[in-house]
Chain A
Amino acid sequence: MTATDLNIEDSNRTSARKAPGLGLLLITGVTVLLFTLPLLIPPVFLNYAIKMMVAGLFALAFNLLWSHARLLSFGHAAYYAIGAFAVIHALSLSERGVLSIPTPLIPMMGLIAGALIGLVVGYLATVRGGTYFAMITLAVGELLLSIAPKWEAVFGGESGLSSMRMPWAGLTFGMVGEVYIVVLIWCLFGLVLLRWFSATPLGQIALAIGDNEKRLRFLGYRTHAVKTVIFSLSAAVSGLAGGLIAFAMESASFELFAGANSAMPVMHTFLGGADVFLGPIAGGMGLTLFSELASNASRLWLLYMGVIFVIVMMFAPEGLAGFISRHVKLSLTCWRLLIADYAVFLSGCAGLVLSGVWMAEVSYRLMGTSPIVGLTPDGTITLFEWTFSATSKPLWFAAVAVFVLSLFGVLAAAKRARTTWLTIGQKKDGLR
């Protein structure tokens, strides 16, 4: 039975099929670029690329539950970590010669382990929806987090487990380039799997659960079974993501279960944009790259991320990808009217970010709470090779002025743009 048989109205959540053309070309281009990346960039960046792809895949797996059945999980670290440990155990088994599977196929163990645990937890968790579901997943995550460090045999206690990738078919997997290619192929596999699932009848029923579960039950569908299956699939791909990280790092510890790992896919997904298929990937990859780069430069990275998350939730709840795509669609017809507002808005945002970050960084050093960053004895700071006095009045005045002006500019531009859209909308209605 397909979506059309069910007579589901084509909302913007159901994927509209477009004619392949430009999109196909773009996909091929990006894929070719990704496969040739080891030739183009130095190995350090390949490690970043691995983390980015895994974060993107993890967010996408998390978002399977939200974008389809409108289920919010706050404990996805559990499946991520279990996938990682499954891969570490498989690696050490193959190292000891007990298990003979080709090394590149070992991340599969993460997928299988995730699917199995997901089937059990999913069956229990999806009995209830909404807040109860969120709480059950949170409880399962915390439960495993509290058990893991005490179960030495399985999770290696406080220190964790490590293992080695065995050579296979002439490949040593000692080079980061080889690992990158394996991770890339698995990530693409996960991506295609999730994309394919959305298009299956089961995927469409899962979508309908998000719209109106009660009605679906009246139609005779066993929604609990469907939710269990998509939970298991989501956990499986999360396990694959965790397995890939373990495969790349050759180690895993109980800290993978920590709440921070459950928070990451949530942040990535909703910052990126939950209702655009590539939103979570963009969020996961973008934020991971930023955090890798920014965590070296600033100790306050998590604060910035939290603030951005709160702002996005308040003013652009559809996420950045959703926000941008909506604006592109809206303004294509009337960009001449709006371009000045957009320019003011964007430069205002830049001003807010620059002055806000400057003030936060400088006052953080003035506070002296961090054991790592602080002032030099003469009270100066060096940020980006620029040395200045931390208490310089003109600089603080300038920063506050830029902040206030930018805030004003952003608000004014947003208001003007909204008025323009309203007038255009009214004109269109009038023509009809």
Chain B
Amino acid sequence: MEMLSISLLNGTIYGLLLFMIAAGLTLIFGMMGVLNFAHGAFYMLGAYAGYVLSARVGFFPGLLVAGLIVAAIGAMVERYMLRSVHAHGHAHELLLTFGLLFVFDEIVKFFFGYYPVSYRVPETLSFSVFRIGSLEYPAYRLFVGLVSIGFFGALVLILRFTRIGLVVRAAVHKPMMVEALGHNVPLVMLLVFAVGAGMAGLAGAVAGAFYPTSPAMASEIGTIVFVVVVVGGLGSLGGAFIASLMIGILTTLMVGVDTTLADTLSFVGFGSWGKDIGGIFAVPLSASAGTLPFALMLMVLLLRPAGLMGERT
């Protein structure tokens, strides 16, 4: 029971973190029709920027500046790279971001090497807030959760109750129409791209102190966030929110499960058959937690291709 409540809490916080990264990605997709492969790289750049800056200007200002720097990088990518490729079609935009992921990855390796850097939780936040049974709960996890909730709230308020939010929401659905109405859609796109990149960067700076900060994090989180966005429905913020929480909680819970698929099969009398097949049937489910998001994504794509909350096209 203690394990379960801790797992649920961890999963929720991980899910909120995923949402912070996925929100920008899904909005960008809605406006541009391009799934930004380099989005995971923004998360990684944020973590490394946070690592460098926190040592110089203090931890909390470092987080903020890291987010701003990544937002600026995102703005440059949109303005000077994606926009000039736009004329060649979506596929080339996708390929460009794919190449950028590669380049950002190598640049990070260039400056920081192949191995994780020691980016740590600051002293002020490395204590345990409460105990559930015999397990202590680290304050930093709650901080990660609070930052994510804060950004989620701010995003919802801006999108729901401001004029610019209205234009963004409209531009996500019908960019051409909004432009015809006289709004500066390219500027809105630039803004959304920068904010999305900045949020991913801030998420990286916050999470990098807790999870390992290494060059591998870009592609790891990148693929999970893709899954979130596709499961939620491309372009749908609400869908992305549900999908983030779902994937965050499910993968965290699964890590705690010790039974194997073969054990499950033995309920219906096929246990030994399952063990004979070996492979995925014989490993504990906890070891195949990495498989789950992709299996989920395939299922969603096949059963409801538009995603949980996506529009049918």
**A interface residue numbers (CB < 8 A to B):** 66, 70, 72, 74, 124, 127-128, 130-132, 134-136, 138-140, 142-143, 146-147, 150-154, 259, 263, 266-267, 270, 300, 302-303, 305-307, 309-310, 313-314, 317, 360, 364, 367, 369-371
Contacts and interface: CB of A to CB of B under 8 A. Distances in A.
B90 A130 contact: yes
Contacts of B265: none
Interface pairs A-B: 5 shortest CB-CB: A151-B279, A303-B106, A306-B102, A369-B113, A306-B103
B278 A151 contact: yes
A150 B91 contact: no
Given A70-B91, A139-B227, A143-B298, A152 B278 contact: yes
A153 B278 contact: yes
Given A147-B280, A152-B278, A309-B102, A136 B298 contact: yes
B92 A313 contact: yes
Interface string B108-131: 011111000000000000000000
Interface in B49-86: 81, 84-85
B106 A150 contact: no
Given A147-B279, A302-B102, A303-B103, A310 B96 contact: yes
Contacts of B81: 310, 314
A124 B287 contact: no
Contacts of B100: 310
A180 to B, nearest CB: 31
A139 B297 contact: yes
Interface of B: 29, 33-35, 81, 84-85, 88, 90-92, 94-96, 98-100, 102-103, 105-107, 109-113, 219, 223, 226-227, 230, 234, 277-280, 283, 287-288, 290-291, 294-295, 297-298, 301-302, 305
B84 A314 contact: yes
Nearest to B102: A306
Interface secondary structure of A, over-half rule: helix
B298 A140 contact: yes
B91 A72 contact: yes
A151 B94 contact: no
B110 A364 contact: yes
B106 A143 contact: no
A131 B35 contact: yes
A309 B85 contact: no
Contacts of A306: 99, 102-103, 105-106
Contact of B96 (A124, A303, A314): A314
Contacts of B102: 263, 302, 305-306, 309
24 contacts: A127-B301, A130-B90, A131-B33, A132-B234, A139-B301, A143-B298, A146-B288, A152-B279, A153-B277, A153-B278, A154-B279, A267-B99, A270-B95, A300-B110, A303-B106, A306-B99, A306-B103, A309-B99, A310-B81, A310-B96, A367-B110, A369-B112, A370-B113, A371-B113
A143 B223 CA distance: 11
B219 to A, nearest CB: 6
A150 B302 contact: no
Contacts of B301: 127-128, 132, 135-136, 139
Contacts of A124: 298, 302
A128 B305 contact: yes
Contacts of B34: 131
B230 A132 contact: yes
Contacts of A303: 103, 106-107, 109-110
A370 to B, nearest CB: 7
B15 to A, nearest CB: 19
Contact of B288 (A150, A263, A310): A150
A326 B234 CA distance: 37
Contacts of B279: 147, 150-154
A367 B110 CA distance: 8
A158 to B, nearest CB: 12
B178 to A, nearest CB: 21
B103 A307 contact: yes
Contact of B99 (A300, A313, A364): A313
A142 B294 contact: yes
B99 A310 contact: yes
A312 to B, nearest CB: 8
A369 B94 contact: no
Contacts of B230: 132, 135, 139
A405 to B, nearest CB: 22
A313 B85 contact: yes
B96 A142 contact: no
Contacts of A313: 85, 92, 95-96, 99
A69 B297 CA distance: 24
B118 to A, nearest CB: 14
A367 B219 CA distance: 24
